[in-house]
Structure 1
């Protein structure tokens, strides 16, 4: 297929010759063959021409859950990747909350096989421990050889300090990335929301910021002792940002992410007991939101993720105490980030991070494979239950005014565009 992208504003800070300039881009059989101010289309060429068309390298989300295998009613891999494409993502990192939990090379191979021939690339995480029970290390080396890009027990803290120490030491033999979810379960107790004035007023048990910060402090001490590569997913407190900033100044190989909803909302959203706002880590305070946004801007926080977690209505339409944690967000992420930050920063956030997972970063360059996200950076846009592609409808961003809209993606010699 030949594709000609007409008059697109290019967002590519690594190439100053085309960054923020309007260009035509010709793609033949998935390869970028020409970039110029104006290109005349040849016969049998699909021309993409839209008002306020912008383009960047394809976007990456580092924390995505679907359902398959085991929970296909929540989201299949095929439909989940279709949803990711609609959100502008050419690559996603898949979490380990499936059934069976992927703690063997055969399960990793199964997941990768299910994602073949899709327009969006799926890169699976493997479980850090057998069945994610946080007791015995899983087959890390074999899973990496099968295609796992890191190791995580999804939303489960590694309470055994020695286990994390051994994992970091062992993983250095094959340059693997180890996750540690930041929550001390003893401090968190039976808390389900942020501990503070809102939780007290609502009569809900709280998770103090201390639970996150104590775990992170412990993990960073272990990392300093062992060496290795540590990733702390979805931090949510001002104290966590400070701890990680100090660790990076020491030269420790640590990265972290924040969920997009923790950059936008505070725990005041809980006042109506709407379970769509029940997430883990919980929505925190304005002080935390301010620190997290600053952490993204100054580079302390490496990634912003949707932490996309599709759930059945039976898991959300229940009493707040009994509801499951999680929200979807793949289709809303650009509009939210583009509202919090300027477009250039939002695109940079969405585009970076592949190197941490050993993945190749695409380039907008003649002779390279086309891996693009196409979008409008200004039009006001809404995602609703009716327009959402995701099977699950537990999205806290429905009806939220979003600045900018994704037109689609080009990847793997395929085109998916509005």
Structure 2
């Protein structure tokens, strides 16, 4: 693949060309020249786009597709295409499939389905067999096959001894254990945040206490065992405080937050729109503010779209019975770009790779071309025409977002709108 990007503004704080507008020559998938103006005697394909900006390709630590077993929600092929068109060159894909990704053969299947894609798929192996929370899955075998971490997607590990053993065992091969922050006996049948809004509209509440108890328990276990723990998608102010304190103790813990938990609050559920039904639930304004502060000071290590396609049969039903989940890839950049500066937005979208053992490449001569292409300017209303996922369950519909993604260049291929 040979390309010439014309007049591209580089947003990459680790690159010597940061904030400069340059031409970038890509030959056979490698950046071969970066300069103010590059001639094109070999007549390579030129990419000229309005207000073109480029950064390192983005990473998402929690994406669900469906295949195998739930192809009606999303296939791996279209899911990776959606990720590529949304600026993501690497995605960690959850094990919530049928069968669950809990053996090295399942991991190999996921990787084989992703061959030849612009976006690289990194499998998350299940932490327990069948994601049932009873027995540990084949963690070491899956890591050898290519799993980058272990996570029973949105299913809490209720048995503390099981998590203790997982942390001890995985530390033998530097494995990263993920634990969903929810105490299920306290969350009960709650379908939204327990607060004034849940009381006023009559939906069962899931209190922030359910998350915070689990976070506190997991941090105590980590302090006892050592090892590496990742807490995905925290949603409360107290969780930020607990993790901040754990990091001050030098515990090897990381965490993420879903973009929708800083973009929306539980007030959105007064419409009973099931697209807003997510796990963990949307919380209060003060929670969202604390999460944003946690991202700014580095307590929260990364953001995720927590992209979770759900077919219409499981979303267009009574609120109590609807499945949890919203699309997030297509809207991720535009949502973050309304909240943070461009530099911080790109920083958040590229963080997290090293925690999951993924190499991060800078925009420099000799590096692989692993790029997100975007225009950070201009507001627009997100609509169904902006969705490339098979399912259409996005809580961002009719929301004003800022900036457009053109696509990606990675793995010696391009994916552009």
Quick check: 1:236–1:281 contact (8 Å CA) kept in 2?
yes
In structure 1, the gaps of 5 or more residues are none
Say which SS state the counterpart of residue 386 (structure 1) adopts.
Answer: helix
Q: Which ranges in structure 2 are unaligned for 5 or more consecutive residues?
A: none
More displaced stretch, 377-386 vs 145-154:
377-386
1:359, distance to aligned residue in structure 2 (A)? 1.1
Residue 23 of structure 1 deviates from its aligned partner by 1.2
Number of corresponding residues: 417
* Superposed displacement of residue 342, structure 1: 0.6
Q: Report the counterpart of residue 188 of structure 2 in structure 1.
A: 189
Distance 1:110 1:382 in 2: 38
Residue 264 of structure 1 is matched in structure 2 by 263
| TM-aligned CA deviation for residue 380 of structure 1 | 1.9
Q: Shift of residue 241 of structure 1?
A: 0.3
Q: Contact 2:182–2:214 at 8 Å: present in 1 too? A: yes
Aligned counterparts, 1:18-417, within 5 A: 18-417=17-416
1:113 shift after superposition? 0.3
Q: Structure 2 CA distance, aligned partners of 1:237 and 1:154?
A: 19
Q: Please say if residues 241 and 292 of structure 1, whose CA atoms lie closer than 8 Å, have aligned partners that are also in contact.
A: yes
Residue pair 2:330, 2:386 contacting (<8 A) in 1 also = no
Deviation of the 1:388 alpha carbon: 1.4
- Deviations along 1:80-131, one digit per CA (max 9) or x if unpaired, are 0011111111010001110000110000000110000011100000000111
TM-score normalised over the length of structure 2 = 0.99
Q: Whole-Å Cα distance in 1 between the matches of residues 374 and 221 of structure 2?
A: 42
Question: What is the distance in 2 between the residues matched to 1:164 and 1:2?
Answer: 48
Instruction: Measure, in 2, the Cα distance between the counterparts of 1:6 and 1:139.
Output: 48
Shift of 1:362: 1.3
Aligned equivalent of 2:3 = 3
CA RMSD of aligned residues (A): 0.8
Q: Does the CA-based 8 Å contact 1:2-1:44 persist in structure 2?
A: no
Residues in 1 aligned to 2:122 and 2:257: alpha-carbon distance in whole angstroms: 19
Q: What is the CA–CA distance in structure 1 between the aligned matches of 2:349 and 2:318, rounded to whole Å?
A: 35
Instruction: Classify 1:389/1:241 alpha carbon distance in 2 versus 1 (closer, same or farther; 3 Å).
Output: same
CA contact (8 A) 1:316 1:324 kept: yes
Is the 2:81–2:415 Cα contact (8 Å) retained in structure 1?
no
Which stretch shifts more, 358-367 or 218-227? Answer: 358-367
Alpha-carbon offset, residue 42 of structure 1? 2.4
